[in-house]
Amino acid sequence: MKNIKIICFIPARSGSTRVKNKNIRLINNRPLIYWSVFKAIKSKMFNKIIFSSDSEKYFKILVKFLKKDMIDYKNLIFDKRDNLHTKTKSKIFDYLKHDLIQKFNLSKNDLLVQMLPTCPLRSIKSIKKAVNFSITTKKNCFTVCEYDFHISFSLKIHKKKWSAVFKNSPMLTGNTQSQSQNRFYHPNGVINCLFVKSLNKQVKSIYRNALPLIVPRIEAFDIDTEEDLKIIKKIY
């Protein structure tokens, strides 16, 4: 595609509720935000990398570690988001549609690649794959991974009694062999590739008319709780 710029967008607000200062907690001696930015830089896929936060402190911490590791961050840009767009119930998708495009004067042919900082295990290979997939297909894409357990076994519990969610549940039919179950997938925060021209104000979902791209389940490990932090510190 001609005249296309590829822009990485990494949002990291400071007001995490479940894990205080989650985005700057140390993982392998580096703040969580570092890993997504580091891999975006190392992928060499982006004309710009926009680090978006309400906290200038977060950006200073990020730059400190990039300098420490002698990482060239010349195409890294800080986007200072106001409080209106960093509240707990604020949606990043709304910010992209209503503010970011105008703020950075993005062209309709540009590809915006959103990567959440809470997925530090994404690989550079997956970044390249997703970007090339969107450019080749000329479609938005979002990464998915297989559920870690078959959802056909889903059940509800009420007053110590269980009931199957699905009519043909293997817990009712006895067909419990793993290889007999259908595979189901869910979206994750690893990578979303969005063409700017698709981000009009009427579109309500990033998944509409977008294509799924499967990534390894380990890359979708999302830091959301203190327990998640303990787990990733053991494997990363």
Residue 99 resides in a domain: yes
Classify 144 as helix, strand or coil: strand
What is the per-residue burial (b if ≥16 Cβ within 10 Å, else e) of 206-222?
Answer: beeebeebebbeebbbe
The per-residue pLDDT for 220 is 95
Which of 77-81, 106-110, 212-216, 231-235 shows the lowest per-residue confidence on average (mean pLDDT)? 231-235
Residue 1 resides in a domain: no
Whether residue 66 is found in the same domain as residue 153: no
- Mean pLDDT calculated for residue range 95-108: 90
Whether residue 124 is found in the same domain as residue 214: yes
**How many of the other CB atoms lie within 10 Å of CB of 54?**
21
How many domains is the chain built from?
2
User: In the predicted model, is pLDDT for residue 176 greater than 90?
Assistant: yes
Whether residue 108 is found in the same domain as residue 201: yes
User: In the predicted model, is pLDDT for residue 213 greater than 90?
Assistant: yes
Domain containing residue 107: 6-147+185-235
Q: Give the C-alpha separation, 87 to 82, whole Å.
A: 9
Whether residue 195 is found in the same domain as residue 208: yes
| More confidently predicted of 101 and 201 | 101
The per-residue pLDDT for 93 is 86
C-alpha distances out from residue 98 to 85, 91, 183, Å: 11, 11, 37
Q: Give the C-alpha separation, 99 to 34, whole Å.
A: 25
Residues forming beta bridges with residue 79, ordered by sequence position: 52
pTM for the structure as a whole: 0.90
Whether residue 86 is found in the same domain as residue 177: no
DSSP class of 96: I
For 163-166, which contacts have Cβ atoms below 8 Å and span 24 or more sequence positions? none
Residue 80 resides in a domain: yes
Q: How many helices (H) does the chain have, and how many strands (E)?
A: 7, 11
CATH of the domain at 27: 3.90.550.10
Are the C-beta atoms of 147 and 186 separated by less than 8 Å? yes
Whether residue 140 is found in the same domain as residue 152: no
Q: What are phi and psi of 146, to 5 degrees?
A: -75, 145
